[in-house]
Amino acid sequence: MLVLGIESTCDETACAVVRDGYEILSNVVSSQIDLHKEFGGVVPELACRRHIDLIIPILDESLKLANINLQDLDLIAVAHGPGLIGALLIGLNMAKSLAVALKKPFIGINHIEAHLYAALMSHNEKIAFPYLGVVLSGGHTSLVLMEDIGTYRLISQTVDDAIGEAFDKVAKMLGLPYPGGPEIEALARQGDPSRFPFKGGRVKTRPLDFSFSGLKTAVLYALQDLAPTESDKCDIAASFQRAAFDDIVSKALQAASQYHLKTMIFGGGVTNNKYLRQLFAERAPNCTLVWPSTGLSLDNAAMIAGLAYHHYLKRQKGDALDLEPLVRIPF
Ligand code: KG4
Ligand code: ZN
């Protein structure tokens, strides 16, 4: 089954062709980082306009690279949320138009669920359920009990900033460009992670939930006290990164033990971070850790097409043409 995936939830325009859920025939991503860099974050209106300009050329390129034409497709899949409303509408309307014109089914996919599927897609061998899903992206931070594809229970989530958002905001405080995650990771490599006693936040009534706003404020105060040199900035980046990731690893381990889970799968742009992967490897030696491959960890459409294959097989039908874009989707 040949599935076209379309992704336009935020600041990446992407199309991909995937055979039977795993075999990636093409995976074309156009990042808008340069467009948003000067504003220090994503400007929704600019993102939408860029999606409109790019989506058809990217579709053409993905078909060309996969060496197929539109008629060869069996299913059109699109991320219909969560994301920026205007950006979502562009991908969703293209998917619907293609479905009508080609008389093919189309299916809406949860972008966050697809981030977790990206890790499964990156591994050829089948990995037995259940898993602890660890979502670490720009907009979401959550732990999810995954019993099967499509059967999930939300264990915990952030009560304020998402982890990627915290990285982006701290980077901004340090005068680093957007997106801040890779910049902080690079700076942290030269810093002393034990210099500042930063800590991840505790949510009293829900101990597995996350909170990063206090950590962010602690960084701000440390910077205000210092008039920081380059070397101070490296130490702040390293201390912030370690505090944030220590908190995530501890809560993930606690959830795994509480729900008797031996496998963790990871999704979202922050999983690109090498220090994060190293920390999990050190502190969770008895768990099987399933990470997305590099090309699948940031936003992409291959994960959308791959996951859609499984949902379509289960349901045996696509979505109705009045499917709405969803700014938020509860897990
Ligand atoms: O999953 P993603 O591509 O978009 C969303 O669905 O939100 O994640 C983007 C986020 C950004 O906040 C970016 O700063 C962060 O992932 N990120 C990283 C790294 N690479 C990307 N954070 C920490 N370390 C990295 N190496
Ligand atoms: Zn994403």
pLDDT in tens, 110-140: 999 999 999 999 997 789 999 999 999 999 9
What CA–CA distance (Å, rounded) separates 313 from 293?
Answer: 25
Same domain, 198 and 240: yes
What is the CATH classification number for the domain harbouring 140?
3.30.420.40
Q: 261 and 306, same structural domain? A: no
Phi, psi of 177 (to 5 degrees): -75, 165
Summarised one tens digit per residue, pLDDT across range 175-186 is 999 999 999 999
Clarify whether residues 231 and 169 are in a common domain: yes
Give residue-wise pLDDT tens across range 3-37.
999 999 998 999 999 999 999 999 999 988 888 88
Residues 51 and 35: their CA atoms lie apart, in Å, by: 12
Cβ(303)–Cβ(296) under 8 Å? yes
The whole-number average pLDDT for the span 240-253 is 98
**Whether residues 204 and 310 fall in one domain:** no
Residues 95 and 129 occupy one common structural domain? no
Residues 229 and 112 occupy one common structural domain: no
In a domain, 330, yes or no: no
Q: Are residues 224 and 263 in the same domain?
A: yes
Provide the number of structural domains found in the chain.
Answer: 2
pLDDT of the residue at 292: 97
Same domain, 100 and 244: no
Residues 28 and 156 both lie in one domain: no
Q: Is the pLDDT of residue 83 over 80?
A: yes
Strands (DSSP E) contained in the chain are: 2-7, 12-19, 23-31, 75-81, 106-110, 131-136, 141-148, 151-157, 263-267, 288-290
Looking at the structure, do residues 84 and 153 belong to the same domain, yes or no?
A: no
d(CA 2, CA 19): 5
Ligand 1 binding pocket mutation candidate from 167, 297, 329 (most atoms within 8 A of CB): 167
Domain-embedded: residue 327: no
Same domain, 103 and 237: no
What's the CA gap between 331 and 325, in Å, rounded?
Answer: 15
pLDDT score for 40: 82
Examine the domain organization and report whether 186 and 281 are in the same domain: yes
Pocket around ligand 1 at a 6 A CB cut-off: 10, 115, 137-139, 164, 167-168, 179-182, 185, 268-270, 272-273, 298-299
H-type helices in 133-258, by residue range? 163-173, 180-188, 213-226, 230-258
CA angle 241, 281, 283 (to 5 degrees): 75
Domain holding 9, by residue range, is 2-116+296-315
